[in-house]
Structure 1
Amino acid sequence: MLKKVAVALTLVAAFASAQAQSNNAFYAGADIGNTKVDGLDSADKLSYGIFGGYKFNDNVAAELNVRHLAKWNSVNVSQTGLSVLGIVPVSKEFSVYGRLGYNNLSASASSGNTTVTASTSGALYGVGVNFQVNKEVGIRAEYQRPASDTKNFSVGVHYSF
């Protein structure tokens, strides 16, 4: 699956490089949110993360993210994802986007001197809205499905450079 995503990103990059590029194509940001896993209600659901990407044009971007999804007792769950974003500008400041990518979910549990880790990989998808405050700063809200039983809603801010 990771190879397919890498090939898709390469094709998108090759296509987009032929088109005129806008200023401030690179961006980086941080978000905070809430994670829900089906069947696990007694959890610290706070999520937070960082992300960075490259906007090829007004309609396509590639993004890498790292996020702490949640903590249940002594179990920490984190996410690393690589995605392509399809962007639809609604106005000069406002846009909606869809996300399709690949992510790795890692869990680690500690008890005494013993730490156990596990991970799984799979599809990542989501939808979001973005409001561009000015040329450099934007605010976004997003709903993601990092796994079939996991939902994450986050709000974030990003800076384009």
Structure 2
Amino acid sequence: MKNLQKALIAAIFGSVVTMSAQAAISFGAGQSYAGAKIGQYSPDDVDDDAVSYGVYGGYKFTPNLGVEAEYLTTGDADAFNDSFEKSEYNAEVYGLYGTYDYAFPNTALYAKGRLGIAKSKIDGDYTNKFDASENESYSYSDTGLAGGLGIGYNITPVASIEAMYNFYPTIEDEGDDLDSNGITLGAHYKF
């Protein structure tokens, strides 16, 4: 094969690979997405972190800037459990965020940051193992600043996965501040 033919084949191959990479990271303006996530919800001063799961969706105004809404809930987990008493909790988060995505050049990877406002609510049940008259339910909630940082991967031009560290609003619990954070793994579809 002549050098010119080899150079032409290499140029065509390089163009196809580059276009494929660009298609994989393409997340253009005017694009909506929706997905589901699972993870771990971690409030301060509890024995066990709760398993979290939820849904999220958003809209990209530009390839980098967008808006995202989220609903996250948890299963029951132990706040504490000893010989005399125990307390279980579960949580819910409703959030609305502004997002910024940075696509790493010539890869399907991207970094994502989000910042916004969310309502965080924790419900619980206290049980005295010796005196049932002291058993009670409690609920605390607050609205405030929330956000997260993560990394994502475009599996195809219309499907992505994301791993994120999230922080949620501080909840005032009888004069004490209760901070919560979590990690999530999500998958979404772009349409």
- Matched residues, percent identical? 27
Cα shift at 1:52: 0.5
User: What is the aligned partner in structure 2 of residue 62 from structure 1?
Assistant: 67
Cα 1:69/1:146, change in 2 over 3 Å? farther
Equivalent residues, number: 139
> 2: CA distance between counterparts of 1:145 and 1:95?
20
1:38 aligns with 2:44: yes
Counterpart code for 1:80: Y
Structure 2 residue 87 is matched with structure 1 residue 82: no
Query: What's the CA shift for 1:147?
Result: 3.1
RMSD: 2.4
Uncovered stretches (5+) of structure 2, i.e. residues with no partner: 1-26, 79-87, 127-135, 171-178
Of the three residues 140, 144, 154, the one matched with 1:132 is: 154
Please give the TM-score of this superposition, normalised by the length of structure 2.
Answer: 0.65
Aligned equivalents of 2:156, 2:119: Cα separation in 1: 33
2:144 alignment partner AA: G
Pairwise CA distance, 1:22: 3.0
Q: How does the TM-score come out when normalised to structure 1?
A: 0.76
* 1:51 aligned residue: 56
Distance 1:122 1:56, change over 3 A: same
Instruction: Determine the C-alpha separation between the residues in 1 that align with 2:102 and 2:147.
Output: 16
What is the identity, as a one-letter code, of the residue corresponding to 2:180? T
Q: Deviations over 1:116-149 (max 9, x none)?
A: 5332111002101110111110011000111352
Q: What residue is the counterpart of 1:5 in the other structure?
A: none
Structure-1 residue corresponding to 2:5:
none
1:147/1:70 Cα in 2 relative to 1: closer, same or farther (>3 Å)? farther
Q: In the aligned structure 2, how far is the partner of 1:95 from the partner of 1:70?
A: 30
CA distance in 2, matches of 1:115, 1:152: 24
SS in structure 1 of the partner of residue 115 of structure 2: strand
Tell me which stretches of 4 or more aligned residues in structure 1 moved more than 4 Å: none
Q: Deviations over 1:75-116 (max 9, x none)?
A: 3211000000111111351110111000001123368xx865
- Check if 1:104 corresponds to 2:119: yes
Structure 1: gaps (5+ residues): 1-20
Task: Find the aligned partners of 1:27 and 1:71 in 2 and give their Cα distance.
Answer: 29
